[in-house]
Amino acid sequence: MNGVEGFMYPNEIALQWSVLIVLYPFITGLVAGAFILASLERVFRVEAVKPTYRLALLTALAFLLDAPLPLQLHLGHPERSPEMYFTPHSTSAMAMFGYVYLWYLMAVLVLEIWLDYRRDIVLMSQQSKGFLRLIYKVMTLGSSNISERSLAIDERVGWIVTIIGIPSAFMLHGYVGFIFGSIKANPWWSSPLMPVVFIFSAMVSGIAAVMLLYMAITKLRKQKIDVRCVDSIAMYLFYIFIIDFSLEMLDLIHRIYEADESFKSLNFLVHTQLFIPHIVIQILMGTLVPIVLLGITQVIKLPEIVRKRMYAVAGCLTMVGIFAMRWNVVIGGQLFSKSFLGFTTYKMALVTREGLLAAIALTILPFIFLWVLIKLLPPWGEEHEAAAAD
């Protein structure tokens, strides 16, 4: 059989979960990570990262709006997906997706953004004209009181929402890890560490994404990058990355040492088909190199320009590494037979519903969402510009 080595159960030869299912945990990871970065300022009062606070929230929202689309496109019957809301199966981890998603979207992210922007929205609804005015009017939800007292309440409620938001962000992505980690039939996935690894890798990818976006957008706007801010973000990225890498290595060492019945098969896979995506791209290029780069900036006092470039390179490599991690989990977990006697291959189609073009479109889409959100709700106020100028 073409593309098959050894013995596969006959129904296993074609992969069921494609590149779109790789995108799903990648995108939700960015959401959770971006939100955690925003909460650093809001809850933990890390003032240095303030210039990225609103951008992080808008990034989280843009990617969250995109997150269910790969799943929807992957379904054999997308028109039946409302059934997950109306008749959820209580024993299914996947059935909770709709609720976790809606909770996070409506009760956390949209609410927090609205509370944070309410003053700006009210002002813009008074200053803008025509259709925009109408949009801002609707966005005020009829609440146009921007007195000191009212804004203080916004601030207080926003803080509470963020407090609720942190475990919710953990739940959003930990749950994605649980979807994989709870499949006992698949030894590549089945691990209680999976949700924890997913949470930390989500924080890594989300923080790196917001750092890169902040640097890129500030450059595009011809503004000065707040180095104190990116220094702080890079520091958090470095420490969380070390925790993430330690957890992944713990999982790996445990598998190697335990060497259960699946080990020979998985070991062969990692040394053949997954060698480039797993060892080279995920571990070496996408984890160790950025950790070393970020580590150097922590111990050696380098000039500003060098630091910024190192952050940019480390950030880009991090994104590649985390994407590779999602790829290796989703695709790698389907390349071996559950008989542990053979291997199949994944051939990505180009112009199909689950092909490369659809994946590229779904990767670009959140940036379009973000562009619209930034136009509608500019994340940079005067105080942020002042902070950058200092």
Partner 1 sequence: MLILLPAAAVAWKSVQAGTPEDSPNYKMTDHWWGMLIDVPKCIGCGNCVRACQTENDVPDGNFRTWVERYHVTDENMTSPEVISPDGGKEGFPVAQEDAGKYFFVPKLCNHCADSPCTQVCPVGATFVTPDGVVMVDQSYCLGCAYCVQACPYGCRYIHPEKHVADKCTLCYHRITKGLTTACCETCPTGARQLVDLKNPKDPIHEFLKTHSVQVLKPQMATGAKAYYYDLDGSVR
Q: Alpha helix locations (H) across 6-142?
A: 19-42, 53-66, 68-74, 83-86, 97-102, 111-127, 130-140
Of the candidates 159, 247, 251, 164, the one whose C-alpha atom is nearest the C-alpha of residue 203 is 247
CB 372 within 8 A of CB 42: no
Residue with tokens 């009181």: 145
Q: What is the largest CA-CA distance in the chain?
A: 72
Residue with tokens 């039939």: 185
**Residue 140 near partner 1 by CB under 8 A:** no
* Token pair of 214 as six digits: 């902040």
Integer angstrom CA distances of residue 375 from 58, 72, 90, 369: 11, 28, 41, 10
In the complex, what is the shortest distance from the CB of residue 11 to partner 1, in angstroms, rounded to a whole number?
4
In the complex, what is the shortest distance from the CB of residue 388 to partner 1, in angstroms, rounded to a whole number?
40
Applying CB under 8 A, the span of 22-30, 157-165, 181-189, 197-205 interacting with partner 1 comes to 181-189
Site for partner 1 in 151-170 (CB under 8 A): none
**Residue 93 near partner 1 by CB under 8 A:** yes
Applying CB under 8 A, the span of 79-87, 230-238, 272-280, 301-309 interacting with partner 1 comes to 79-87
CB 310 within 8 A of CB 297: yes
- Report the residue from 45, 86, 303, 305 that binds partner 1 according to the rule CB under 8 A: 86
**Residue 99 near partner 1 by CB under 8 A:** no
- Report the residue from 214, 340, 343, 369 that binds partner 1 according to the rule CB under 8 A: 340
**Residue 271 near partner 1 by CB under 8 A:** no
Applying CB under 8 A, the span of 4-12, 45-53, 103-111, 378-386 interacting with partner 1 comes to 4-12
Q: Closer CB to partner 1, residue 185 or residue 300?
A: 185
Residues interacting with partner 1, by CB under 8 A? 7-13, 16-17, 71, 74-89, 91-95, 97, 179, 182-186, 264, 334, 337-341
